[in-house]
Amino acid sequence: MNAAHQDIAATVRAVVQKHSQYADEALQNHALLQEDLGIDSIMLAGIVSELNSLLQTRVNVSPGDSDTLVSLSARFVAQAPAQVPAPMPSEETRNADPAALARAAVAAAAAFTSPSVATGDNSSSAGNKATMRDFVGNGTDPDIFTKTRRFQRFQRERAEQGHFWYGMASRGRSSNRARIFDRHEGREREFLLFASNNYLGLANDERVLDAIQQASREYGATNTGSRLIAGTTEVHQVLERKLAQLKGREDCLVFPSGYSANLGTIAALVGPGDQVIGDVYNHMSIQDGCKLSGATRRLYPHNDMQALEDMLARHEDQPGGRLIVADGVFSMHGDIVHLPELLKLAQRYQARVLIDEAHSTGVLGATGSGTTEHFQLKGRVDLEVGTMSKALGGQGGFVVGDAEVIDYLRYYANSYVFAATIPAPVAAGLNASLDIMAAEPERLVRLWSNIDYLKTSLDRLGFDTEQSNSAIIPVRIGDETLAMNMGRSLRRRGLYCQTVVFPGVAVGDARLRISVLESHTRQDLDQALDMLLEAAQENRLPLREALAA
């Protein structure tokens, strides 16, 4: 390898080190980016974006394309213009030790500004090929707001095309249908709603609303404090007991949100010297908790238990603790974690397990307890984290587990200790929701009747719904522009569902995300099917011929 290629390879290494925050000695040349270093698709996008700016290349890398530092470097070596030297230090530094070389590369990278960055132009993102990934911060802009100006132009263009509909305001209660102000048409419209997580309809139940109203008169609007100081009420304690009972665990801790529950729990329990091992499709709150912890992060391919076992075996001799983390239901794919196999591997390799029950609670299991009940493994998972903003129809997050672990988290989970709690009226509404869910199992029966009908019908029509087995049914499209066009066509027809692109999924994996509710009628489902088929035909979406026939 000549000196120029060595400089490029060292720059790649330095940028990877800057984004991953790993010490130089942890970045072995043949370390697997995903499995060994826990570099997910969003982090990889930031790395590639910065390297393209530094080296004036247009390399496109998907998570599975370059699995080691060596192969990633090779892609940039192959494309780097001969006349553009890599921003690297002098010959004296190249002869220094690897740690010094990496530090110098980071410093050089920070000082280097490519012409496109200096002018604020984003030529690599121009035109219809641009995606949300092109505006991830990468440390090359001298002004951190530069990317916001570039994104504003991109956002404006997409809005003019009818693609950016995010954040439109609803008016009144939302159930199977919703009144939403359509910015593109400048008027309020009624939509068939397939974008809500109000799976059991509890958010609109009059008994829940009455409980909220009564508690607001008794406790006021909010507690204005953290739980450890002045934020705990009897209503919060009742809620924690009810959630622990639902999950069959000793104790529970309620957080301000499901996101903060993952963030605080993971960061409190693992740290430098430990390993945290997660599914590549885990929710962003899990990934951020893993990054915040400082533990060695590893990712295994989605629901691939053989790959997980290989990873555990390969690093079995590494000191420190191990935590395996996975979604119960994967939020953009709708499939369920392979929990029985995962628990066997955890026991074999002495690892603890955390399962995120955000889309499982109130949906899976005979009583809606979640993933563990679905597999008849209730009480067997070390920690279950969840949110109360979906099937339970409220707000906040929680974690359940052994009493001694929960008690530890009360003092060491920073997102609990240093944050105001959910208001007592919200907690009172959640207590009512849990009581109703237990007393009216027919809600869960109606939900699953709707799920089965819509999923079977979509499969029969030839849509790619992957391995969904929950209230989340994806329609995988792949191309981001085609997905945006599909979303626009559906909204024009009066169906409101989520169009998911990066960073919700990796580039090239765009999809529609359909959420099924127990309040949907058979007429709603049939109308949605007609609209989806019409939109697919209008946009020439390829359907699976074997099923479509």
Residue 105 pLDDT > 50, yes or no?
Answer: no
Active-site residue (options: 242, 333, 390, 455):
390
d(CA 24, CA 99): 6
Q: Is the pLDDT higher at 41 or at 354?
A: 354
Residue-wise pLDDT for 503-542, tens only, equals 888 888 999 999 999 999 999 999 999 999 999 999 999 9
Residue 188 pLDDT > 80, yes or no?
Answer: yes
Burial of 540 (0-12, 13-18, 19+ CB in 10 A): exposed
CATH of residue 219: 3.40.640.10
Q: Are 490 and 531 in contact (CB under 8 A)?
A: yes
- What 8-state DSSP symbol labels residue 368? S
Phi-psi region of 41 (alpha: psi -120 to 50; beta: other; left: phi over 0): alpha
Number of domains in the chain: 3
- What 8-state DSSP symbol labels residue 252? E
Q: Give 498's strand partners.
A: 513
Residue-wise pLDDT for 18-39, tens only, equals 787 777 777 787 777 877 788 8
d(CA 508, CA 121): 24
**pLDDT band with cut points at 50, 70 and 90 for residue 117:** very low
Regarding whether 453 and 434 lie in a shared domain, the answer is no
Closest CA to 508 of 463, 477, 473: 477
Instruction: State whether residue 178 is helix, strand or coil.
Output: strand
Regarding whether 395 and 274 lie in a shared domain, the answer is yes
d(CA 67, CA 69): 7
Residue-wise pLDDT for 84-101, tens only, equals 444 444 444 344 444 444
Residue-wise pLDDT for 436-486, tens only, equals 999 999 999 999 999 999 999 999 999 999 999 999 999 999 999 999 999
Closest CA to 201 of 451, 438, 519, 470: 519
378 tagged catalytic: no
Regarding whether 240 and 176 lie in a shared domain, the answer is no
pLDDT of residue 82: 56
User: Once rounded to an integer, what is the mean pLDDT over residues 297-302?
Assistant: 93
The residue behind tokens 């507690």 is 223
Regarding whether 379 and 291 lie in a shared domain, the answer is yes
pLDDT of residue 489: 96
**pLDDT band with cut points at 50, 70 and 90 for residue 53:** confident
Domain boundary among 439, 470, 487: 439
Asked whether residue 199 is assigned to any structural domain, the reply reads no
Report DSSP letters for 200-224, one per residue. TSGGG-HHHHHHHHHHHHHH-S---
Active-site residue (options: 331, 360, 369, 433):
331
How far CA 312 is from CA of 276, 297, 299, 342, in Å, comes to 11, 12, 11, 11
Q: Give 240's strand partners.
A: none
Percentage of residues of the chain with pLDDT beyond 70? 89
d(CA 165, CA 128): 18
Asked whether residue 274 is assigned to any structural domain, the reply reads yes
359 tagged catalytic: yes
Regarding whether 151 and 136 lie in a shared domain, the answer is yes
Regarding whether 141 and 91 lie in a shared domain, the answer is yes
**pLDDT band with cut points at 50, 70 and 90 for residue 545:** low
d(CA 101, CA 183): 52
pLDDT of residue 90: 41
Q: Is the pLDDT higher at 20 or at 265?
A: 265
Regarding whether 187 and 256 lie in a shared domain, the answer is no
Asked whether residue 165 is assigned to any structural domain, the reply reads no
Residue 119 pLDDT > 90, yes or no?
Answer: no
Residue-wise pLDDT for 55-67, tens only, equals 888 887 766 665 7
Structure tokens at 9: 């390879």
Asked whether residue 198 is assigned to any structural domain, the reply reads no
Domain boundary among 439, 457, 482: 439
Q: Which of 41-50, 407-416, 507-516 has the lowest mean pLDDT?
A: 41-50
How far CA 502 is from CA of 199, 280, 499, in Å, comes to 25, 14, 10
Regarding whether 295 and 427 lie in a shared domain, the answer is yes
Closest CA to 297 of 287, 307, 306, 305: 287
- What 8-state DSSP symbol labels residue 299? E
Regarding whether 271 and 123 lie in a shared domain, the answer is no
CATH of residue 448: 3.90.1150.10
Virtual torsion, Cα 68, 70, 75, 80, nearest 10 deg: 140
Closest CA to 325 of 308, 307, 313: 308
Closest CA to 531 of 446, 468, 452, 457: 457
Residue 345 pLDDT > 80, yes or no?
Answer: yes
For 447-454, the CB contacts below 8 A with 24+ separation are 447/199, 447/200, 447/363, 447/471, 447/516, 447/517, 447/518, 450/516, 450/517, 450/518, 450/520, 450/525, 451/516, 453/522, 453/525, 454/514, 454/516, 454/525, 454/528, 454/529
d(CA 4, CA 228): 57
Domain limits for position 181:
170-193+443-548
- What 8-state DSSP symbol labels residue 422? P
Asked whether residue 216 is assigned to any structural domain, the reply reads yes
d(CA 14, CA 7): 10
d(CA 118, CA 112): 10
Residue 108 pLDDT > 70, yes or no?
Answer: no
Asked whether residue 161 is assigned to any structural domain, the reply reads no
Q: What share of the chain is helix, strand, coil (3-state, %, to 5)?
A: 50, 15, 40
Active-site residue (options: 236, 242, 333, 359):
359
Regarding whether 448 and 434 lie in a shared domain, the answer is no
The vertex-491 CA angle with 487 and 494, nearest 5°, equals 145
Asked whether residue 200 is assigned to any structural domain, the reply reads no
Would the CA dihedral through 187, 193, 195, 200 be positive or negative?
A: positive
Domain boundary among 392, 420, 439: 439
The vertex-337 CA angle with 174 and 297, nearest 5°, equals 105
Regarding whether 88 and 43 lie in a shared domain, the answer is yes
Virtual torsion, Cα 385, 503, 78, 88, nearest 10 deg: -80
Asked whether residue 447 is assigned to any structural domain, the reply reads yes
Regarding whether 433 and 461 lie in a shared domain, the answer is no
**Could you tell me how many residues make up the chain?**
549
Question: In terms of pTM, does the model score above 0.85?
Answer: no
Q: Give 356's strand partners.
A: 327, 385
374 tagged catalytic: no
Q: Which of 137-146, 174-183, 311-320, 426-435 has the lowest mean pLDDT?
A: 137-146
User: Once rounded to an integer, what is the mean pLDDT over residues 128-143?
Assistant: 77
Residue-wise pLDDT for 140-157, tens only, equals 788 999 889 989 998 888
Residue 372 pLDDT > 50, yes or no?
Answer: yes
- What 8-state DSSP symbol labels residue 231? I
